[in-house]
Structure formats: structure tokens, C-alpha cells
């Protein structure tokens, strides 16, 4: 490839399931818009599937200048090899400089395989992306306009900034719920560019027999108020209290990994590095000590109330209000006070 | 393949226990003293081993475990042997140092490929990096089918019927072998060690632990270098790693305004009133 890669587009992978885009592509386009504007290049969404052209309008409204569209019956349902093959060919043809994916199950399956095929770098689970410079500490060679891939590492105890200045494209997966989508602009126009899937004659070794969707009643990302419990809640029965508090406030119930591992509540309620990232207006933390992995998923909440018996628990370091006490006493008092206000 | 069972290769990693980052493991400057953390068998790699052992139990065959790391990683190879693995391979080479996921997957793909497996199992991710990249990248390099987030597996001749988590639900697939699977902790825990195997395999060693001499018979942990598995030098270690670390910052918990509220009825009532007043609730 002879093109100057620094003129390449910024791409985001617009993952869809059953013809629906979900929140992730819009979050990626929000960040992608910022990166593309900074570099002065177009922002494009990559849309793979079968009969999905109508989704392009949503992607334009969310900030894309262009949609690279690949339609093929083989791409109807996500299968790693088919998606990888089509995506790799598209990157070879179009030479984008940056490609970002959601750190979803699909993105974390697809992105590594693409990076492996193209022998380029990939940073997983970024919590921020910026454009900046890099100086090679050995050769002193300087690189400008490089993607700074920022991610927690080592169990969330450090934040690393990763760059790959000599390999193209620069790729990253981005944690769900971390980037902010733009306010949609209905009717915003863009260009649809159709591409061949290059899948003719490619053997796909996987047949999808059945998909059972979990119809989750839990919507932590959209909740304005979250009441979350940890190991300190002590039992599944005690967790009911948190549901009562959430109900009184019109909020949702979340949990730390410890509480999920102890079986106090379902996995889909897990908040933190290996769960959901949330930023509600109010986060009430009950019996959570505050491991860094958990804090990574909630510390950007606008207001945090921490209830814990241990005065030295790290959770108090990120809290705005701290109550040192037994949640089994404090939570009922809180419910009573809220009901008294109503 | 059906008659003699399946050959499974399990990729395992020894990792610092990142959950044990406590006061003692923090240096004065707030960075982590990695040496102070215990080295453990990466949790989801144990689930990957369990998956391979279940296939062997049902269908016969052999289970090989492979790790890339320092000689002390033999500790987890021994654990794998004690739990039921048949053969163990240590890939240890100074040239592998500094490998990012791309270089790691390249080196491991060379080692795994040389063992000619029907099935490859990896943990979904290792707790020191949490990238979940090495498994899918090994599969791409070997041109094996990749099934991520494996929750269940049944064998059907030269195919596997698998259940995998797709985040928004679960999916059942029929996959042609050879195939690679990344296994999550929802698959199930690794079985306990077998007492007789513990007595036997505690003596298993790699040459590097035994004055350069290979042990006899199945007490031998096979030691491999990058050359042994035919790696090109410029694809290993720093040379083969496109990613560079530009900056590392230790996480310092930054507190904003903090107010302690008494746990009393009045305290809690006051807090609720304050939150109602500023429209956070209500």
C-alpha cells in the first residue's frame, strides 16, 4: 500500500444484531467524530450484514460522514470468520488510519482476528482515545497525530496509554457506556459506499443453529439512579432491601463482582471492569468496599453515596457522601425518609 | 479421530494475582510491586483445562497443556498434570520477552500448531491484561474456527456442538474441527487435583529446572524455544509487537467533596432532604 496513511479515514464498526444497532455504534461515532475532526479526515461507519442499508440513516444522524456498506447473506448473522474476511479486505482496499470497535462480545471476537490477519496493533477495552504525539524512547523518532489508546491494566490498578506508531491501521476496542454519543441530527446526510464482501468461495466453518436472546429487564446504563450492593450485603435476602430502596427512588439495582460471585444477584447487574460502566445522577453504594475494578465502572457518577461499616474502605475515597454504618439499618432509614418526602 | 478420541491443547498462563493488590503490593510512589503479588494459574485458563478434560472423559484422547513464560510457570503445568493433563510444554525464551498480544499469539500458534490438535482451549482472558485477544489471534494464525465465550461443548464426529455467550443472549453453533475455543468462568470450575497424580507429578520438571536434563517418561515437561517451534525472530518479543506503551499512570483515587453523614435517622433524613433540594432525587 502506497497511500499516505495519515490521510486515511477514521472508522467505527457499526455492529448490528437482527437489523438493530444498539447504543454502541452511536457511542463510538461520538468519539470518532472528535478524532476525525482533530485529524481533518472523514468519519466513516462500517456496516456489515444482509439487508441493513436502512440503518445508514441512523449512522449519519449519529455523526458519520460515510457508511461503508457490505451486504451478503453470509453476513446476516455474526460469524467471526466471515466478518473478519470481509472487514480485512475492506481495510486493505480503503486504508483507514484508525478503526475502533465496541468492546462487546462481537467486537472482542472480531477485532483481534482482524489485527492478527493484518499484523497490526490492537488495544483492548479503552476508556479514552485521544490524538497526540509519541517519541520513540530508543530512536528518538517523533510521530504526530497518533492515536493514544488509554486503558486500565493490571486489574485496573494502572492506566496505560498505548500507541502503535508504525503499523496501520491503529485499532482499539472501546468499553461500552464510556464514550458519549452525540445528540442525533435527524436527516443529516452522508454517503453510502457499497463494497463486495469477497466471500465467494470462502469456507465458513461455523453454522449458527440457534440464538436465544436474553430479554433483560435490567437497564443499568439508562438508569438515573442506581442502588448497588456488594459482599457486605451478606445474603440474597438482604439484597431485597436494595430493590426496595431502588423502587422508592425509581432507580435500578446493580452489584459488585463479589456480590455476583456470591450469588446475591444476576450477572447482568455487575458494575465494573468486567461488567457495565455506569454514570448515573446518583449512585448509592451499599456494602461495597470499592476494588479498583469496581470503581472503574462507577466513579464518574454525578453523586455517590457510600454506606459501609468499614471507615477505611476505598469506596469512601470516591464518594461525595459517606455513611459509616450497617446498611441493614441505614437503608430502611433511607427508604423511610424518602417516603416521608413524598 | 472419533475412535482414538480428540487431541486437545490448552493454553495456560501464570499471572500475578491482580486481586491481591493491597497496601504491601504498592510501592511508595504508588506503583505496583509486581514481585509482591502471588503468581497464580490464570482463573479462566483453569476453566479451559476443565473443558478439555471433560471432552477427554467423554470421548477419550489426550490433553496437552502449553504455557509461555518464565521457568517458574512450570508450577501451573504441574497443577495441570495433577488435574489430569497428559503432556506439558513450557515455551521459555528470552526472545519472547516484551511480546504484546500479536507476538504472543504468533509464538503460541507456532507451538500449538506443531502439536497438531483437533481442539484448542484458551481462557477467555488473563487477569493481568484482560485483553481477550490471544485466543482469537491464535485461531486466525492457524486458520482454525474460533468460538469465543464458550459455555458448553459436545462432540459430534469431526464437529463440535457448542453453546456460547453472545452478550445479548446465547447461541448454539455447529463447528467444524479443528477449532479453538475461549472459555469463560461460566463453563465451570476446574476439578480438584487427583491425590495419586499429585504424588506423581510433583516430581515433573522441565530441563531448565533440572540442570538441563530432561526427566524420564511422563515426568518430563517438554521445554521449547522460539527456534524449536520455527518462529521468525522479527515476529517475536519487542520486534514483533506493534504496540508501545507511551505512558503509565497509577490509579489514584481522587476524592471530590466528601461529607460524612451520621447513620442516625436524623442524619439520613437530612441527606435525603439535601438530595431532594438539589433535584438529584424526587
Our measurement of the distance from residue B152's CA atom to the centroid of its chain's CA atoms, rounded to an integer in Å, reads 18
Non-local CB neighbours of A262 within 8 Å, separated by 6+ positions? A231
Q: Model pTM greater than 0.80?
A: yes
Q: What is the tally of helices (H) and strands (E) in chain B? A: 6, 13
What is the count of structural domains for chain A?
A: 2
Residue-level pLDDT at A140: 94
Range(s) of the domain holding residue A256: 225-341
> Is the predicted pLDDT of residue A262 greater than 70, yes or no?
yes
Partners of residue B250 in chain A, C-beta under 8 Å: 157-159
Residue of A109, A303, A330 best to disrupt the B interface, most CBs of B under 10 A: A109
Q: Which residues of B touch A302 (CB under 8 A)?
A: 280
**Whether A246 and A328 share a structural domain:** yes
- Buried/exposed A164-197: b ≥16 CB within 10 Å, e otherwise: bbebbbbbbbbbbbbbebbeeeeeeebeeeebeb
Identify the band that residue A221 occupies on the pLDDT scale cut at 50, 70 and 90: confident
Element holding B109 (H helix, E strand): helix B101-114
Given a contact cutoff of 8 angstroms between Cβ atoms, the answer to whether A132 and A146 are in contact is yes
| Inter-chain residue contact A162 with B280, CB threshold 8 Å | no
Residues A164, A257: one domain?
no
Is there a contact between A148 and B268 if contact means CB atoms under 8 Å apart? no
| pLDDT value of position A310 | 94
CB contact under 8 A, A165 and B272: no
- Which of A112, A205, A334 lies closest to B175 in CB terms? A205
Exposure string of A44-69, with b = 16+ CB inside 10 Å and e = fewer, is bbbbbbeebeebbbbbbbbbbbbbbb
Burial of B4 (0-12, 13-18, 19+ CB in 10 A): exposed
pLDDT in tens, A269-311: 999 887 888 989 999 999 999 988 899 889 889 899 999 999 9
Residues A139 and A56 in one domain: yes
Q: CATH number of the domain that A317 lies in?
A: 3.40.50.1220
* Residues A254 and A295 occupy one common structural domain: yes
Residues of A in contact with B102 (CB under 8 A): 115-116, 119-122
Which positions in chain A touch B166 (Cβ < 8 Å)?
78, 105-106, 211
Q: Specify if A205 maps to a domain.
A: no
Number of H helices, E strands in chain A: 9, 16
Residues A160 and A17 in one domain: yes
Mean pLDDT (chain A, rounded): 93
Nearest CA in chain A to B242: A121
Contacts of A76 in chain B (CB under 8 A): none
Contact A319, A304 (CB under 8 A): yes
Q: What parts of chain B have a pLDDT lower than 70?
A: 1-3, 20-34, 252-256
CB contact under 8 A, B176 and A152: no
pLDDT value at residue B258: 87
Closest partner residue to B263 among A113, A125, A323, by Cβ? Answer: A323
Domain spans, chain B: 6-240
| A162 touches B: beta carbon within 8 Å | yes
Report yes or no: A316 at the B interface, CB cutoff 8 Å: yes
Residues A188 and A250 in one domain: no
Domain end, chosen from A157, A174, A195, is at A195
Whether residue A176 sits in one domain with residue A276: no
Strand-pair category, A128-135 with A122-126 = unpaired
Residues A21 and A97 in one domain: yes
Chain A residue whose CA is closest to B127? A155
Residue A336 forms part of a structural domain: yes
Q: How much is the pLDDT for A279?
A: 87
Choose which CATH entry (3.30.70.100, 1.20.58.1030, 3.30.9.10, 3.40.50.620) describes domain B6-240: 3.40.50.620
Strand-pair category, A98-102 with A321-324: unpaired
Can you tell me the distance from the alpha carbon of A310 to that of A319, in angstroms, rounded to the nearest whole number? 14
How far is B94 from chain A, CA to nearest CA, in Å? 20
Decide if A231 touches B, using CB distance below 8 A. Answer: no
Segment A63-74 mean pLDDT: 98
The 10 Å Cβ neighbour count of residue A40 is 8
Tell me how far apart the alpha carbons of residues B209 and B28 are, in angstroms, rounded to a whole number. Answer: 34
Amino acid at each position: 500500500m502506497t497511500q499516505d496513511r495519515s490521510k486515511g479515514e477514521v472508522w467505527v464498526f457499526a455492529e448490528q444484531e437482527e437489523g438493530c444497532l444498539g447504543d454502541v455504534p452511536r457511542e463510538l461515532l461520538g468519539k470518532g467524530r472528535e478524532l476525525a475532526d482533530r485529524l481533518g479526515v472523514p468519519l466513516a461507519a462500517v456496516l456489515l450484514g444482509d439487508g441493513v442499508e436502512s440503518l445508514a440513516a441512523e449512522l449519519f444522524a449519529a455523526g458519520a460522514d460515510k457508511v461503508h456498506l457490505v451486504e451478503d447473506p453470509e453476513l446476516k448473522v455474526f460469524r467471526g470468520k466471515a466478518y473478519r474476511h470481509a472487514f480485512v479486505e475492506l481495510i486493505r482496499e480503503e486504508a483507514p488510519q484508525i478503526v475502533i470497535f465496541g468492546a462487546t462480545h462481537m467486537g472482542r471476537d472480531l477485532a483481534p482476528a482482524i489485527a492478527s490477519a493484518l499484523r497490526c496493533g490492537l488495544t483492548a477495552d479503552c476508556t479514552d482515545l485521544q490524538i497526540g504525539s509519541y517519541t520513540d524512547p530508543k530512536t528518538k523518532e517523533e510521530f504526530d497525530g497518533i492515536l493514544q489508546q488509554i486503558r486500565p491494566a493490571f486489574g485496573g490498578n494502572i492506566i496505560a496509554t498505548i500507541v502503535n506508531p508504525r503499523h496501520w491501521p491503529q485499532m482499539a476496542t472501546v468499553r461500552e457506556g464510556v464514550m458519549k454519543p452525540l445528540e442525533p441530527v435527524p436527516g443529516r446526510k452522508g454517503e453510502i459506499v457499497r463494497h463486495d464482501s469477497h466471500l465467494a468461495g470462502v469456507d465458513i466453518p461455523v453454522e449458527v443453529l440457534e440464538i436465544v436472546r436474553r430479554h433483560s429487564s435490567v437497564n443499568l446504563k439508562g438508569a438515573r439512579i442506581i442502588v448497588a450492593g456488594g459482599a457486605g450485603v451478606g445474603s440474597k435476602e438482604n439484597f431485597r432491601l436494595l430493590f426496595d430502596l431502588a423502587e422508592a427512588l425509581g432507580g435500578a439495582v446493580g452489584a459488585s463482582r463479589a456480590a455476583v460471585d456470591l450469588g446475591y444477584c444476576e450477572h447482568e447487574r455487575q458494575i465494573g471492569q468486567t461488567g457495565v460502566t455506569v454514570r448515573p445522577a446518583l449512585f448509592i453504594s451499599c456494602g461495597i468496599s470499592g476494588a479498583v475494578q469496581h470503581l472503574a465502572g462507577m466513579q464518574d457518577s454525578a453523586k455517590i453515596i457510600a454506606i459501609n461499616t468499614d471507615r477505611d474502605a476505598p469506596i469512601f475515597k470516591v464518594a461525595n457522601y459517606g455513611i459509616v454504618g450497617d446498611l441493614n439499618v441505614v437503608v430502611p432509614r433511607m427508604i423511610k425518609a424518602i417516603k416521608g418526602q413524598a | 479421530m472419533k475412535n482414538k478420541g480428540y487431541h486437545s491443547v490448552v493454553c495456560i498462563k501464570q499471572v500475578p494475582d491482580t486481586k491481591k493488590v493491597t497496601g504491601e503490593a504498592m510501592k511508595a510512589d504508588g506503583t505496583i510491586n509486581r514481585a509482591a503479588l502471588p503468581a497464580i494459574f490464570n482463573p479462566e485458563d483453569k476453566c479451559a483445562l476443565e473443558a478439555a478434560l471433560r471432552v477427554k472423559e467423554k470421548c477419550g484422547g489426550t490433553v496437552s497443556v502449553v504455557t509461555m513464560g518464565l521457568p517458574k510457570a512450570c508450577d501451573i503445568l504441574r497443577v495441570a498434570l495433577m488435574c489430569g493433563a497428559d503432556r506439558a510444554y513450557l515455551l521459555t525464551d528470552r526472545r519472547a520477552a516484551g511480546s504484546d498480544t500479536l507476538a504472543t499469539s504468533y509464538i503460541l500458534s507456532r507451538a500449538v500448531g506443531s502439536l497438531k490438535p483437533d481442539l484448542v482451549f484458551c481462557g477467555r482472558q488473563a487477569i493481568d491484561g484482560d485483553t481477550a485477544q490471544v485466543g482469537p489471534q491464535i485461531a486466525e494464525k492457524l486458520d482454525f474456527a474460533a468460538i469465543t465465550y464458550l459455555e458448553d461443548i459436545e462432540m459430534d464426529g469431526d464437529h463440535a456442538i457448542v453453546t456460547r455467550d453472545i452478550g445479548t443472549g446465547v447461541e448454539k453453533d455447529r463447528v467444524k474441527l479443528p477449532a479453538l475455543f475461549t472459555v469463560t468462568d461460566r463453563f465451570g470450575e476446574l476439578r480438584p487435583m487427583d491425590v495419586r497424580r499429585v504424588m506423581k507429578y510433583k516430581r515433573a520438571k522441565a530441563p531448565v529446572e533440572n540442570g538441563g536434563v530432561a526427566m524420564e517418561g511422563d515426568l518430563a515437561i517438554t521445554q521449547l524455544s522460539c527456534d524449536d517451534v520455527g518462529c521468525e525472530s522479527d515476529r517475536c518479543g519487542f520486534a514483533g509487537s506493534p504496540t508501545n506503551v507511551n505512558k503509565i499512570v497509577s490509579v489514584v483515587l481522587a476524592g471530590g467533596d466528601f461529607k460524612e453523614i451520621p447513620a442516625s435517622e436524623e442524619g439520613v433524613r437530612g441527606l435525603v432532604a439535601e438530595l431532594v433540594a438539589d433535584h438529584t432525587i424526587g
